[in-house]
Amino acid sequence: MAESKATSFKKLYQAPLPAILALLIVYVWQGLGHTVMYFMEHKWFPDSYLTAAFVMGWVGAALVWIGRNKSENVATLLGFVGGSIIWLSWIEFSFVWVADDLQVPGVIWGAKETLPEYRVMLSSVGVLMGSLLFFFYNRDTRCNAFMWLHRNLRLNPGERTSVANRNFASITAMETIYVTWFCYIWLLFLYNPDILGTDHWVTLATCAGFAIWALYLIQRLWWFQRMAPALRYAIPTAIIAWNVNEILEKWGHLDEIWVKPQQYAFELSMAAVVLVVVVALAIVSPARRIVDRPNVPAEQQG
């Protein structure tokens, strides 16, 4: 009886449930990550947030290390959480530190202020593009964007090796960091009035393009049958969708509720509850596909 109930429960994890859970995890975290940074700077560690960020980064690194030999579900979740923590702590707060040290002022690009740390972040574009070559040239890449470029640019990085024993935690962590980093840099180029500006037609086209791209990726993600592949695919999907939100905030069409906890305490609390619930549901999701979907590509079935 217990086994029958467990099997029935697992059958609930059919498309589109893995896609919905994965999208919620990544999308909601994009906002709550800003909230965590705000609390670290202004509430939790106002006089020692750099020290706290340094320690927090090691926690993220430890999670990625722990996930190196776990099951695919656990490794993917630990990779996403660890990568998100590393980005929020070591990476974002390193820009805060440099901006403070150089006394970089914030600027008004669009309807809201661009903080000093993001102006400093723009200087990392060379490191981003240079280090991305490692992943672009990697013959074992499973990144759909890179594989599409390889095909259409007639580039052959070499034959793939076996997929066995892949370190999903490390792969997911690096995916989280690089997709987040790339999108930040792209948006900062758009916002900077010396380059384009928030009112430039390219910014408008980018917003529309991100929305269309996100919808395209969501409809592909919709049929994923397993949580781990769905979460890895949801990372670029949800972050691309989040960029639409970011641009709308820059235009003044949306309020940045994530850094206004006094004003939006209820909304942020509900977002935190949703995140905890969907992560818990992802943790208990079955490791294997329960029901095959006919006429759906294997890569989308997960």
In the block, residue with structure tokens 């499973």: 142
The confidence score (pLDDT) of residue 297 equals 55
User: Would you state the structure tokens that stand for residue 146, as one six-digit string?
Assistant: 């890179």
Residue 133 contacts by C-beta under 8 Å, 6 or more apart in sequence?
Answer: none
C-alpha 256/C-alpha 28 separation (Å) is 13
Q: How many domains does the chain have?
A: 1
The confidence score (pLDDT) of residue 210 equals 97
Quick one: three-class SS letters along 1-29?
CHHHHHHHHHHCCCCCHHHHHHHHHHHHH
Other beta carbons within 10 angstroms of residue 100's beta carbon come to 13
In the block, residue with structure tokens 């901006």: 99
> Which of 247, 267, 243 is closest to 257 using CA atoms?
267
Residue 238 contacts by C-beta under 8 Å, 6 or more apart in sequence?
Answer: 22, 23, 25, 26, 27, 30
Residue 259: HSE in the Cβ half-sphere, 13 Å Cα cutoff: 14
229 located within any domain? yes
223 located within any domain? yes
301 located within any domain? no
299 located within any domain? no
Quick one: three-class SS letters along 206-264?
HHHHHHHHHHHHHHHHCCCCCHHHHHHHHHHHHHHHHHHHHHHHHCCCCCCHHHCCCCC
82 located within any domain? yes
275 located within any domain? yes
1 located within any domain? no
What domain range includes position 230?
A: 16-155+167-287
2 located within any domain? no
Which stretches of the chain drop beneath a pLDDT of 50? 1-2, 294, 298
Q: What are the pLDDT digits (tens) for 175-188?
A: 999 999 999 999 99
Q: DSSP 3-state assignment of 112?
A: strand
> pTM score > 0.75 for this model?
yes
